[in-house]
Structures are given as C-alpha cells and as structure tokens.
C-alpha cells in the first residue's frame, strides 16, 4: 500500500514547488531540424560508459532524438540548484534516497501513474520508492536497478564447515558459534569508517519499521519520546541488542579497521561473513577474483519471514511540466526494455527492476533473486530519517559503549527537535 503524504517537509523543498511551476526552458519539442535534444541528468559516475552505449543504440533507432548525458558528482545538490533556477533537465536519474523522497513530495516530478512502463516494474520496487515520499497519490519515479543489503558469506567456508544459510535468528547465532568453535572468525568489523555500522542497523531495524512505523513517527512529530505511541526507544531496543550481539563476534581491533580493510580481509578468507551489501562484492573480487560469495538477509525469529533490505540504486524521473515529454518518455521506454536493463544491471552488479528481466550469473546476485521475485524486499530505513539527525555517529558510539538506551533516547530527542522546526504540510 502506498504511503500517505508526509506530515512535514524541509522548508527548502517547499520552495521547489513554486520553482517548478514555471515552464521549463530549453529546446522546442519540434525544432527546425526535426531533432529534439534531451538533457540527460545522470548521477552515477561508474555508469557513464554504460549510458553512453545505451544512448548510442537509442539514437540509432530514434534519429529524431539526440540525448546529451550530463554526469554530475554531487547530484543531490546539483538537482536542487537546477530546480531552484528553473533549469529542470529533460530526463533525470537519481539515487532513491531521502532527498529524492522530499523532492517528490514537493511536487516537482512527473506523475507516471498512467504510463505503460510502470506496469513492467516489480511492484515491491515501486513500493520502496513510494515509502520515501510522493506528491499525493502520484507515482513520481520509476525504479531501474536495485542493490541488496545483507550478510555476505563465503560459500566455500560454509560448505567446508557443513553450515546452511540461517533461516532464523537463533540459527544465525548458532552459525556464529560453530565458526568460533572451529577457529574461524565469523565477521570482520570495520568501525574505523563510521558509516559501516549502518548497513546492519538498517537491516535489523527494518523489522520494527514495518507497518507504518515512520508514518506514525511523523504523526507524533515533536511529541516523539518516552510517552509517545511509537519511538525508537520503545520499538528498536531488540534491533540494537541484536546488532550488539553480532559485533561481539568481531575480530580484535575491529574499531580501527576500515571498509577497505574489511573487503580485503574477507577476500583473503580471514572471516566467513561480512556485514555489508552487494556494493562490496566488486572490491572483494578485485582482491580475490575466484572467491565464491552469497548474500542472505538478516533473519528474524520466524522461518521464511526474513526481509531483504534493498535500495533503488537508480530511479528515472522527469520534471513535472516537461515540454519534451514525448521524446523523454520514448527514451525512458527504451532504457526499460528487458535486454537493455539486463546489460546495465549486469555491468553495475545490480538487480534489474523489470519483471522477467534476467539477473547476471553472479552467485551473490543469484542468491538474492528469490527475495525480489517473491516481493520480500524493503527499503533502507535511514532514508526515512532526516539528515539533521546524527544517526551514523549515534550508532557508532553505541557499538563502542553498548549503551542502547542512550542511543535510542538520542535518536528520539533529535527526531523531536527536527520535527519542531519543520513546516507541517497537509495532504491533498
């Protein structure tokens, strides 16, 4: 079910509504030479060549359209600047994070509700986008490729030790104990980079965040705290305890090791598991191309109830009032063709959003296929948390001192402070 209009929104985003109301400038839909030029705003540096190939193939089939790719590094800042200056690109890709959700709520993006391409996309992927924020009941973006945040495991070590992928939390802990008893390091911790605790926090926190937790938190607003119906302190204590339990299986000195250290150590077989997502598999393979890896979701207490946390790595969208909409939609329809998205997803080591599109034969991707096919995926919960809340340092400090109550009270207090200074927005 699509989530409702958010109860608060950042003041800057409100200004975008007025900015987007002005007609978008640029080349006419039917220029004198008969060729429409599309400005393609593209945020993903590592996808530059992939999109160049897609554009070349598209232009060969559509000689009346020219696509100019503009790859930008700091896309969130750049797109805000362009929107404020009323220079909305013709076709836009963004990472589907909280910033995308806030912009969607502000009403600056096109509504894809009636576009046929929407019917080709995995509904669970679109639900992740809707959870980030929409303008009323609109569909303001199309999910293109997804990542996967789970536990990376060394398939050879598991097979040699006779271990199965755990289906419940108790089985997960039993695997950790069995590895310890065999003299094998269960996990390699990397808290030298502060953000590396967040993947496991996102995955474990996904369970208490189901059933509209963050919608209820937004309704509570500045009243979030020990007496509110929902709060981090009330609902996330088990998730924090379980994160701390996993960190009890880390190697000595894990507080000083970095993300790169962890990828290299896991590649060399120095641990059986790594608390990272699919994004870590390419750097791991650079150290050990022959390693066999799989990914499983952080299990819960009931078998077959595990959810795989996944983010929409690339979302396509258009400006709300795009004079070149027909040409832009032709380009979007092209990039969502199964054979096109399959090549892109394989190159980027991602999961394509189009139903029926094939994944690459990479074992890590194949291991998460069932969760996408069954719709057992859910979004990154840190995307629901305003950037002003110091989530990363709060979680890192908790993993250092083990004081869950202090960490959760901090998150509640900061949430209430952000809510108190934001502008309430009523639904349509």
pLDDT value at 3 more than 60? no
Q: In terms of C-beta density within 10 A (0-12 exposed, 13-18 middle, 19 or more buried), how is residue 333 classed? A: middle
pLDDT value at 223 more than 50? yes
pLDDT digits (tens, 9 = 90+) for 133-162: 999 999 999 999 999 999 999 999 999 999
Percent pLDDT > 90 in the chain is 86
pLDDT digits (tens, 9 = 90+) for 301-323: 999 899 999 999 999 999 998 89
Residue 425 banded pLDDT, cuts 50, 70, 90: very low
Q: Is the pTM of this model over 0.95?
A: no
Residue 86 banded pLDDT, cuts 50, 70, 90: confident
pLDDT at position 208: 97
pLDDT at position 326: 97
pLDDT at position 424: 54
Q: Residue 97 is encoded by which pair of tokens?
A: 């994070």
Residue 183 banded pLDDT, cuts 50, 70, 90: very high
pLDDT digits (tens, 9 = 90+) for 26-47: 444 456 578 999 999 999 999 9
Residue 22 banded pLDDT, cuts 50, 70, 90: very low
pLDDT value at 94 more than 90? yes
Residue 85 banded pLDDT, cuts 50, 70, 90: confident
pLDDT value at 10 more than 60? no
Q: State the first-to-last Cα distance of the chain, in angstroms, to the nearest integer.
A: 17
pLDDT digits (tens, 9 = 90+) for 382-419: 999 999 999 999 999 999 999 999 999 999 999 999 99
pLDDT value at 1 more than 90? no
pLDDT value at 4 more than 70? no
Residue 4 backbone dihedrals phi, psi, to 5 degrees: -80, 170
pLDDT at position 35: 95
Q: How would DSSP label each residue in 300-360? A: -SSTT---EE--EEEEEE-BTT-TTHHHHHHHHHHHTSHHHHHHHHHHHT-EE-BTTPPPP
* C-beta contacts of 332-340 below 8 A and 24+ residues apart: 332/91, 332/117, 332/142, 333/116, 333/117, 334/54, 334/58, 334/61, 334/62, 335/54, 335/58, 335/144, 336/117, 336/120, 336/121, 336/142, 336/144, 340/54, 340/57
d(CA 425, CA 428): 9
Residue 84 banded pLDDT, cuts 50, 70, 90: confident
**Which among 114, 73, 111, 123 is positioned nearest to 95, based on CA atoms?**
73
- Residue 189 DSSP SS3: coil
Percent pLDDT > 70 in the chain is 91
pLDDT at position 61: 97
pLDDT at position 162: 98
Residue 205 backbone dihedrals phi, psi, to 5 degrees: -75, -10
* C-beta contacts of 74-77 below 8 A and 24+ residues apart: 75/41, 75/43
Q: Residue 406 is encoded by which pair of tokens?
A: 């202090």
pLDDT value at 19 more than 60? no
pLDDT at position 426: 38
């Amino acid at each position: 079910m699509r989530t409702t209009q958010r109860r608060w929104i950042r003041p800057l985003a409100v200004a975008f509504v007025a900015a987007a109301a002005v007609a978008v400038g640029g080349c006419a839909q039917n220029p004198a030479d008969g060729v429409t030029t599309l400005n393609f705003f593209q945020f993903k540096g590592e996808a530059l060549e992939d999109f160049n190939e897609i554009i070349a193939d598209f232009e060969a089939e559509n000689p009346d359209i020219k696509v100019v790719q503009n790859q930008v590094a700091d896309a969130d800042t750049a797109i805000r600047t362009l929107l404020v200056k009323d220079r909305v690109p013709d076709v836009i890709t963004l990472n589907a994070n909280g910033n995308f959700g806030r912009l969607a709520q502000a009403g600056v993006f096109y509504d894809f509700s009636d576009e046929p391409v929407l019917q080709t996309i995995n509904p669970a992927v679109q639900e992740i986008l809707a959870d980030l924020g929409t303008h009323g009941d609109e569909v303001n973006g199309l999910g293109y490729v997804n990542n996967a945040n789970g536990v990376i495991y060394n398939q050879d070590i598991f097979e040699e030790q006779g271990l199965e992928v755990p289906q419940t939390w108790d089985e997960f802990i039993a695997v950790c104990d069995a590895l310890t008893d065999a003299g094998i390091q269960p996990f390699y911790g990397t808290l030298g980079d502060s953000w590396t605790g967040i993947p496991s926090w996102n995955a474990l926190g996904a369970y208490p965040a189901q059933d509209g937790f963050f919608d209820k938190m937004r309704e509570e607003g500045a009243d979030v705290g020990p007496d509110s119906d929902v709060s981090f302190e009330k609902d996330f204590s088990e998730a924090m305890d379980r994160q701390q339990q996993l960190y009890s299986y880390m190697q000595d000195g894990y507080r000083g090791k970095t993300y790169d250290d962890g990828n290299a150590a896991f590649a060399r077989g120095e641990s059986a598991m790594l608390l990272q997502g699919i994004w870590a598999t390419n750097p791991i393979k650079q150290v050990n191309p022959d390693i066999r890896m799989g990914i499983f979701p952080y299990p819960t207490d009931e078998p077959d109830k595990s959810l795989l946390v996944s983010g929409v790595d690339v979302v396509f969208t258009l400006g709300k009032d795009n004079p070149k909409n027909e040409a832009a939609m032709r380009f979007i329809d092209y990039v969502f063709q199964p054979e096109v998205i399959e090549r892109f997803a394989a190159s980027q080591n991602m999961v394509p959003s189009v139903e029926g599109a094939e994944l690459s034969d990479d074992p890590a991707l194949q291991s998460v296929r069932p969760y996408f096919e069954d719709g057992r995926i859910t979004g990154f919960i840190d995307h629901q948390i305003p950037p002003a809340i110091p989530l990363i340092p709060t979680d890192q400090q908790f993993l250092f001192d083990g004081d869950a109550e202090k960490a959760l009270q901090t998150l509640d207090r900061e949430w209430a402070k952000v809510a108190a200074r934001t502008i309430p927005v009523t639904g349509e």
